[in-house]
Structures are given as C-alpha cells and as structure tokens.
C-alpha cells in the first residue's frame, strides 16, 4: 500500500470512529441553501414557483403577515388576495404553471398591483412588492415613464414601502428597467438565469427583514452574508407585520426549459463533451481514461476531468494548490522534473501550476493530506469528513461568486 492509499484508508477509518462517538459537525451547521438541481426538466416557471415558495416559507409568519399572489401576461390577475394563511399562498403559487401563455404587460400590471395595495393593503403596515419578469414589456398601454411615476406617487414615495423588480435572462432590457427603477424609486435586480432567482429572493428577504427590525430606512443592496435561517430569525424578532405581494410573469416564454449550468474547469470555463483522438487523462486526479470520450473538457485550457469531480455550475476542485494558492493540475512533462516541495527528481506526470512553474510529487501531496488531517481533525476535534472541503473555506461562497458572474451587472 503506498502512502496515498494509506491516507485515504486512514481518513475513512477515522471518519467512521468519529461518527460512532459524537455527531458530525456537518449535520449541525444548519440549513444550507440548495439551488434548484435538474432532476427532471426545469422550466422558468417551475424555478420561479420554487423560489417563491422558499420566500414565503421564510418571510411569512403564519396568521400575522399577509401575502398576495398575482400574475401577468396579457393582463394582471390576482390569484390570491391578501391572506394571513400560508397554505393558501403555497396552493396559489403551485398552480401558476397552469396559466403560462400570452404576452408581457409588465408596466401596467405593476401599477395594477400597486392599486390593489391602495384598495386592500393595511396602511399601518410596510408594503412590499416583488416583481419577476423574463422579458420586455409588449402589451402595456401606458409608457414606462408614466407607470414609474404612478408607482412612485402611490407606493414607493412612502419610505416604509419597498418594491423590487427582478429581471431574469437576456430577454430583459436592463437599461429600460434601470430607468424605470430610478424614476419609480425602487430597486432593480438583473439576474442571468432562473437558477439564481432563489438567491436573489434571499437577498431581498434579508434586506426587508434587516431594515424592518432596525428601522424603516432605505434598503441598500450589496450585502450577501445572508441565509434563510437568518431571515427567519429576523422575522421572529420583528414586531412589524407586513403586507407583501408577488407579481410573477406568466407570459408564454415562462414555459422555456432551462438547462442547468455546466460544470467548470479550474479557470471557470464551461466543460463540454469532447471526442479525443487517443486516450486522455484526468487533469484533476491524474487517472488515465480507457475511452476516447471525455464528458467534461475545456477547450481553452485543454483540460479534462472525470465525472466525479464535476458538479453543475461549480468549478472542479483541485487536489492541492501551489504556494500562491493556484489549483494544481496533472501535466505530462517531456523530461525529468523536480518536486518544488521535496527537491526530488521524477519522470512522468506531475501536479503542476503552469503560472508559477511549480511541481509537486505524489508523496508530498500525500504528506500534505496527512498533515491537514492531523490539524483539522485531531487538534481541533472537527469532523474529518470536512477535510475534503479544504479548498472551499466557505461553502456558500460559490453561490455568491456565481451571482456576481451571472448577473448582468454587479448590483
Ligand atoms: Zn479524475
Ligand atoms: Zn478552462
Ligand atoms: Zn515531493
Ligand atoms: Zn501557482
Ligand atoms: Zn462527517
């Protein structure tokens, strides 16, 4: 048994023993956010429904706050008037996929919902309106400017009312939306795709709850250190009951199927299927393949990875890094090379950083793993299962990185 295999076995044994004695820290770290994963076909509307469910679940205090569900295509329709009953809201949201058809009457519909607040909203409460659209307005009778002015007059003029407009995908004209937001005195969020809608809702919910429990000042966007658990905590502490409405686009394009984001190479390029002329090896773990098909290939970096390293929307994780923390990839050296850690000379494949011209041998990699195992699990008493996450210090950071990358701009 070589030292690398030994470390792997040791990790497994230690992990088992650990779990027999005390509970795993992984389990007790609380609720982590799961983005929508493609198990069956995801449509834009199914993503919007899932994200809305999550928003209601965490924002709404049953029997206290009041929620309202509305849709728009050729016209605005109130699907559920203001209600304290959470169950009615879920029922309404989950039925929305049956209404998808027609055009995008965005501006007029926003004003329609504002008028619903005027008629049925409780004036002693803050009002919150969240609007989701995937396209450009093509049905409104009033102009963008006219609608924005009415929204400002009847809704956002009051500093305890908040309006968030979320534009998802390339079909949305962000310049127009920003113009509308600045006249209408509300916040516009551009988002690259529907997989990120839940994250945007979380950001919105966090903004709402933190500003309500502190003061009723203006919402400033740009803080991402939020979680649904934190939103719930703020809600439960708050004395302020809210009236909120969701206005969701059900135009025909909301039935479009959305593909989950590709896995990515170390540099963040999308990985695609590729037929190699000869055999290839995995740049992450160094294993040789026995087929000519690589499911996950980056043409820019000439990078291949086994499926086991690849997760939708995530960068492959390298086994180790150079001293400047660049990910190391397996590379075939034409001649002899020297390990920058132990100074020994080798032939064949090395773990390499091309930027720094740094090479590491397998013995040094195994030593590094062992050292890490000792410090994280033995010294601090943490679950060694987390050793595998060594390069991913903050698990939720990925989502925030993606939010920045997928957003049309950083808001
Ligand atoms: Zn591999
Ligand atoms: Zn690449
Ligand atoms: Zn070495
Ligand atoms: Zn480097
Ligand atoms: Zn564990």
pLDDT band per the 50, 70, 90 thresholds, residue 392: very low
- Residue 380: pLDDT above 90? no
Q: Residue for token digits 């909120």?
A: 244
Residues with CB under 5 A from ligand 5 (ion): 24, 26, 383, 385
Instruction: Name the band, by pLDDT with cuts 50, 70 and 90, for residue 327.
Output: very high
Residue 262 has what DSSP assignment?
A: P
Question: Quick one: which ligand is closest to 295's CA?
Answer: 1
Q: What is the mean pLDDT of residues 225-237?
A: 80
Q: Which ligand is nearest to the CA of 344?
A: 3
Question: What's the pLDDT score for residue 40?
Answer: 53
Q: What is the mean pLDDT of residues 6-34?
A: 44
Span 38-68, pLDDT tens digits: 445 689 999 999 999 999 999 999 899 999 9
Q: For residue 358, report the distance from its CA to the centre of ligand 4, in Å.
A: 6
Task: Express each pLDDT in 97-145 by its tens digit.
Answer: 999 999 999 999 999 999 999 999 999 999 999 999 999 999 999 999 9
pLDDT, residue 376, reads 64
Please name which of 318, 343, 342 lies closest in space to residue 328, comparing C-alpha atoms. 318
Query: Region 338-362: what's the mean pLDDT?
Result: 95
pLDDT at 218: 42
Quick one: pLDDT at residue 377? 59
**Number of the ligand closest to the Cα of 315:** 2
Instruction: Identify which of 168, 166, 190 has the alpha carbon closest to the alpha carbon of residue 258.
Output: 168
pLDDT tens for residues 77-96? 999 999 999 999 999 999 99
Q: Ligand 4 center to residue 359 CA distance, Å?
A: 9
Name the residue with tokens 């307005």: 137
| Average pLDDT score, the chain | 82
How would residue 225 be classed by pLDDT, with cut points 50, 70 and 90? low
pLDDT digits (tens, 9 = 90+) for 268-325: 999 999 998 888 999 999 999 988 899 999 999 999 999 999 998 899 999 999 999 9
How many angstroms separate the alpha carbon of residue 251 from the centre of ligand 1? 43
Classify 102 as helix, strand or coil: coil
Q: What is the pLDDT of residue 231?
A: 84
CA 82 / ligand 5 centre spacing (Å): 44
Q: Which residues contact 49 (CB under 8 A, 6 or more apart)?
A: 93, 94, 96, 97
pLDDT attached to residue 401: 39
**CA of 324 relative to ligand 2 center, distance in Å:** 19
Specify the pLDDT at position 21.
37
Q: Where are the domains of the chain?
A: 42-258, 261-317
CATH number of 42-258: 3.40.50.410
Q: Is the pLDDT assigned to residue 19 strictly greater than 80? A: no
Dihedral angle computed from the Cα positions of residues 261, 263, 267 and 268, in that order, rounded to the nearest 10 degrees: 10
| Residue 7, pLDDT score | 55
ipTM of the complex: 0.76
Share of the chain above pLDDT 70, in %: 78
Ligand 3 centroid–CA 336 distance in Å is 13
Instruction: Mention every residue, 6+ apart, whose C-beta is less than 8 A from residue 77.
Output: 70, 71, 99
pLDDT confidence band for 239 (50 / 70 / 90)? confident
Please report which ligand is nearest the Cα atom of 364: 3
Q: Which residues surround ligand 3, an ion (CB under 5 A)?
A: 339, 341-342, 361, 364
What does the alpha-carbon distance between residue 252 and residue 250 come to, in Å, rounded to a whole number? 6
Q: What is the pLDDT of residue 195?
A: 86
Ligand 4 centroid to residue 407 C-alpha, Å: 29
| Ligand closest to CA 384 | 5
How large is the C-alpha radius of gyration of the chain? 26
**Whether pLDDT at 408 is above 80:** no
Residues near ligand 4 ion, CB 5 Å cutoff: 322, 324, 326, 353, 355-356
Give residue-wise pLDDT tens across range 22-38.
Answer: 333 333 333 344 444 44
Residue 411, H or E segment = none
């Amino acid at each position: 048994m070589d030292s690398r295999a030994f470390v792997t076995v040791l990790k497994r044994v230690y992990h088992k023993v650990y779990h027999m004695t005390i509970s795993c820290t992984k389990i007790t770290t609380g609720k982590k956010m799961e983005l929508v994963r493609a198990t069956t076909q995801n449509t834009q509307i199914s993503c919007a429904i899932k994200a809305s469910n999550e928003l209601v679940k965490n924002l709404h205090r049953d029997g206290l706050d009041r929620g309202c569900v509305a849709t728009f295509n050729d016209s605005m329709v109130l699907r559920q008037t203001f209600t304290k009953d959470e169950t009615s809201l879920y029922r309404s949201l989950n039925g929305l996929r049956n209404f998808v058809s027609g055009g995008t009457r965005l501006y007029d519909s926003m004003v329609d919902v504002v008028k619903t607040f005027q008629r049925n909203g409780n004036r002693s409460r803050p009002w919150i309106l969240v609007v989701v659209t995937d396209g450009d307005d093509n049905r409104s009778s009033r102009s963008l400017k006219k609608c924005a002015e009415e929204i400002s007059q009847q809704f956002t003029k009051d500093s305890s009312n908040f309006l968030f407009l979320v534009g998802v995908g390339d079909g949305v004209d962000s310049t127009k939306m920003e113009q509308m937001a600045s006249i209408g005195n509300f916040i516009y969020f551009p988002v690259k795709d529907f997989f990120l809608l839940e994250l945007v809702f979380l950001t919105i919910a966090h903004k709402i709850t933190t500003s309500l429990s502190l003061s009723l000042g203006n919402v400033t966007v740009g803080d991402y250190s939020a979680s649904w658990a934190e939103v719930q905590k703020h809600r439960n502490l708050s004395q302020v009951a809210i009236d909120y409405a969701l206005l969701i686009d059900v135009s025909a394009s909301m039935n479009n199927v959305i593909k989950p984001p590709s896995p990515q190479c170390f540099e963040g390029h999308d990985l695609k299927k590729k037929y190699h002329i000869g055999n290839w090896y995995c740049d992450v773990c160094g294993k040789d393949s026995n087929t000519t098909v690589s499911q996950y290939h980056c043409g820019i970096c000439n990078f291949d990875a086994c499926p086991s390293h690849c997760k939708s929307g995530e960068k492959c994780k390298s086994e180790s890094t150079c001293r400047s923390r660049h990910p190391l990839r397996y590379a075939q050296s034409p001649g002899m090379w020297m390990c920058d850690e132990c100074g020994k000379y080798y032939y064949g494949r090395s773990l390499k950083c091309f930027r720094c011209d740094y090479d590491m041998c397998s013995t040094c990699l195994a030593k590094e793993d062992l050292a890490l195992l000792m410090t994280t699990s033995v010294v601090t008493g943490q679950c060694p299962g987390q050793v595998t996450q060594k390069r991913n210090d903050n698990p939720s950071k990925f989502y925030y990185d993606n939010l920045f990358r997928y957003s049309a701009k950083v808001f």
